[in-house]
Every structure is written in structure tokens, then in C-alpha cells.
């Protein structure tokens, strides 16, 4: 038997799929890199779940519940219950912006799972000053308000698979279909769609896992439509602002990877994970940056204590958002964003808390703390 030939035949399918995905991404970047904005649909990058945010978003490989619909859909196959539901609400920037999230996941067989996630990010009470000045006179009674909202529905599917190259590992793959609806008061609205792809490898004997997610793998497209009255266009022109035109906004793919390792002894456990967020839209303010791509690392730790068979408490911390900035003395300094969290699991019910954006501890001046709570409920059919 020709063992070299057999090895090549086993490895070829997986290598083929990886190369195909990279070729698609490279082709899209070559076409859209000049026209695509650097930051697009950023509300989908904020993150969900107090556990995840308390660990600084370093959960691509370790998430194994309903929140996987957002972080890594391939991990939906790891849910241990028939159904899981989750809810989260967060207020950002001293309550100016509100972020709401809900998700549902269920098994549809021995080897597959599905999920649906709903995300809304909104800012209310924005002053509309288009009619503040009329005929040279200022009248504050003509100031009204409007809201902006970003909404996304994410439909997920995941399935375990037997791949000969990984016959000693648990392998699963997943995909997301995203439908996006964005609105800026009465002035602009957009509708878009896109897809994510992911995979997960796990060695349950040695307690490690690897996750790979390609968000917006086919690029995500938002079609914007603008509605301005003639009077509003005159105001824009008089204030030297460009009058927006109907356009197509493109979100380029990003590659996200994560590696997690767990240690367990008696009732104690320790999980560490390191992730990398690789954006392909040019230079960003990250740890590693080039004119083509940028790499933003995340690090998270979770220490757990099992109180009883079904009850557990977890302490978490994470570091993300590495940046450089110029301080008041004109000197460039580096900073990171620390996060902490606490989680309590009581049977099939879990409540998690995260305190994020600890800017003062990072040396970035005044803190803009964000308190985040999330709930998860597991349901098993009798």
C-alpha cells in the first residue's frame, strides 16, 4: 500500500475547501477593497452575552451554548439540552445607546442544531436641527428628535462531521445567514444580507478546542436609500455637507480564530483562551497592522468552582482592544481594555454579569463603564 498517496487523498478534501474559501475572500478583496468602507455594520461586532464580554470576547473556541449562534455557529452542536434560550440588554455611553439581544437554539437530530438570533442597537432622542434656522431667525421650538436603529436577524445551522484527517477529534461546521435592517430617522434606511462560515475542532481527552470563523464570507451588502426634502438639501448645501446618494455599502470578510485550553481538578476548573480578529479592510489601530490587514488579539480567563452537580460559579476576566493613542503630553502610548465578569449556574438557569470598558484601569482617563447582564435557560423534553 502506498501510504503517502493515501495520506494525500485523505487531506485533499479539507485543504480544497480551505483554499476555496481563501480564494473567494482574496477575489472579493481585490474587487471591493477600493470601494468598501473601513467600518461597516460595526454593531454586529460589539459582542453578545455577559460571559463572553467578561472574557474580552475571547470565546470563539470555548462557547458551547446558545450564544454560539453569534460567536461560532459550529459550536451549536455542543449544546447539551433540547432547547436553549437567552436574553441580554446593555446600555452604552451612559444610556445613550441600547443594545438588545435574544436567541433560541435547538437540536434537530443527533448531529445537527439550528438557531436564530435577534439583535437591535438603537440610539434615541437625536436632535433634528434642520429647521432650526428659518429666514435667518433661530427658533428652538422647531427642533424635533429622531431615532436610529440597527437590526439583524441571524439564522444558524451546525452539524458534526466525520473527517478522516480529524478522526481522533470532534469536528463540526456551521453557517449563518444574516438579514440586516438599518434606519436613520426619516432620512435613510438600508436592507442587507450576508453569510458567515465556521468550524470547530475539539479534543475532549486533552481538553482543548480550536475555532475558526469567517464573518461576511461572501461579503455583506447593504443597499442604502436616502430621503431628503428640498429644504433639507438646501441646508446641507449651505453648511457645506455632501448630499448623500443611494448607494451599496459592502462589508469585507474578516477571519477570526481562537484556541482554548481547560484544566480540571476536583471541583475546580480553569479555562484560558486566546483569539485573533483579522480584518481585511486595511490598516486599523491594532497590535499588528499593515496596509492590507490588521490583527487584533483577545485574551480571556475563566475560573470555575462546582458547588454541586448542577450548580457552579465562575469568575472571569479578559483583555482586548489594544490601541495606541497620543496622551496630553504629545507622547504615543499603548493601552488595552480590561473586562471582568461573574456567572452563576443554578441547574438549567444561568445568570451572567460583566463589567466592561474599564478605561481608567487601562490608563485611558475617565472610565465609561458598561454593566451587562444576560440570562440563559435550558429546556429538556421529558
State the DSSP string of 150-213. Answer: EEEEEEEEEEEE--GGGTTSEEEEEEEEEEEEEEETTTEEEEEEEEEEEEEEEETTTTEEEEEE
Distance, CA of 122 to CA of 147 (rounded, Å)? 7
Q: What is the pLDDT of residue 23?
A: 57
3-state secondary structure of 229: coil
3-379: CATH topology is: Porin (2.40.160)
Chunked into runs of 10 residues, the chain (382 residues) has average pLDDT values of 41 55 55 62 91 94 94 93 92 80 92 95 83 74 83 96 76 94 90 94 90 91 86 75 82 93 94 94 85 91 92 94 80 85 94 78 55 91 68
Q: What is the pLDDT of residue 11?
A: 45
Q: Is the dihedral of CA 45, 51, 55, 60 positive or negative?
A: negative
C-alpha cell at 267: 471541583
Q: What's this model's pTM, rounded to 2 decimal places?
A: 0.83
C-alpha cell at 142: 422647531
Q: How many CA atoms lie within 13 A of 263 on its CB side?
A: 4
Distance, CA of 300 to CA of 172 (rounded, Å)? 23
> C-alpha angle with apex 275: 273 to 276, nearest 5 degrees?
165
37 contacts 219 by C-beta, under 8 angstroms: no
Distance, CA of 52 to CA of 63 (rounded, Å)? 8
Amino acid at each position: 500500500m502506498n501510504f503517502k498517496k493515501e495520506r494525500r487523498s485523505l487531506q485533499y478534501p479539507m485543504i480544497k475547501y480551505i483554499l476555496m474559501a481563501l480564494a473567494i475572500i482574496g477575489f472579493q478583496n481585490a474587487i471591493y477593497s477600493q470601494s468598501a468602507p473601513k467600518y461597516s455594520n460595526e454593531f454586529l461586532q460589539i459582542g453578545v452575552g455577559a460571559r463572553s464580554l467578561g472574557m474580552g470576547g475571547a470565546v470563539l473556541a470555548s462557547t458551547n451554548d446558545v450564544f454560539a449562534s453569534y460567536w461560532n455557529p459550529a459550536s451549536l452542536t455542543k449544546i447539551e439540552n433540547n432547547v436553549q434560550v437567552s436574553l441580554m440588554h446593555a446600555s452604552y455611553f451612559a444610556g445613550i445607546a441600547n443594545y438588545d439581544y435574544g436567541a433560541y437554539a435547538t437540536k434537530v437530530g443527533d448531529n445537527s442544531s439550528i438557531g436564530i438570533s435577534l439583535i437591535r442597537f438603537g440610539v434615541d432622542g437625536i436632535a433634528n436641527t434642520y429647521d432650526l434656522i428659518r429666514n435667518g431667525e433661530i427658533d428652538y421650538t422647531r427642533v424635533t428628535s429622531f431615532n436610529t436603529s440597527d437590526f439583524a436577524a441571524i439564522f444558524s445551522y451546525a452539524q458534526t462531521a466525520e473527517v478522516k484527517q480529524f478522526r481522533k477529534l470532534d469536528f463540526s461546521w456551521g453557517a449563518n445567514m444574516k438579514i440586516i435592517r438599518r434606519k436613520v430617522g426619516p432620512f435613510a434606511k438600508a436592507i442587507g444580507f450576508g453569510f458567515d462560515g465556521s468550524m470547530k475542532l475539539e479534543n475532549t481527552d486533552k481538553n482543548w478546542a480550536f475555532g475558526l470563523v469567517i464573518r461576511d464570507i461572501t461579503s455583506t451588502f447593504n443597499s442604502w436609500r436616502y430621503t431628503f426634502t428640498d429644504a433639507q438639501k438646501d441646508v446641507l448645501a449651505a453648511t457645506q455637507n455632501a448630499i448623500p446618494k443611494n448607494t451599496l455599502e459592502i462589508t469585507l470578510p474578516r477571519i477570526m480564530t481562537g484556541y482554548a485550553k481547560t484544566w480540571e481538578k476536583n471541583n475546580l476548573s480553569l479555562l484560558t483562551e486566546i483569539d485573533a480578529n483579522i480584518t481585511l479592510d486595511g490598516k486599523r489601530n491594532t497590535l499588528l497592522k499593515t496596509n492590507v490587514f490588521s490583527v487584533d488579539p483577545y485574551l480571556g480567563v475563566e475560573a470555575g468552582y462546582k458547588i454541586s452537580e448542577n450548580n457552579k460559579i465562575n469568575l472571569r476576566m479578559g483583555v482586548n482592544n489594544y490601541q495606541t493613542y497620543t496622551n496630553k503630553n504629545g507622547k504615543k502610548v499603548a493601552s488595552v481594555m480590561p473586562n471582568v465578569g461573574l456567572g452563576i449556574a443554578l441547574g438549567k438557569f444561568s445568570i451572567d454579569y460583566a463589567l466592561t470598558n474599564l478605561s481608567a484601569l487601562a490608563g485611558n482617563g475617565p472610565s465609561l463603564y458598561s454593566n451587562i447582564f444576560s440570562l440563559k435557560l435550558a429546556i429538556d423534553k421529558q
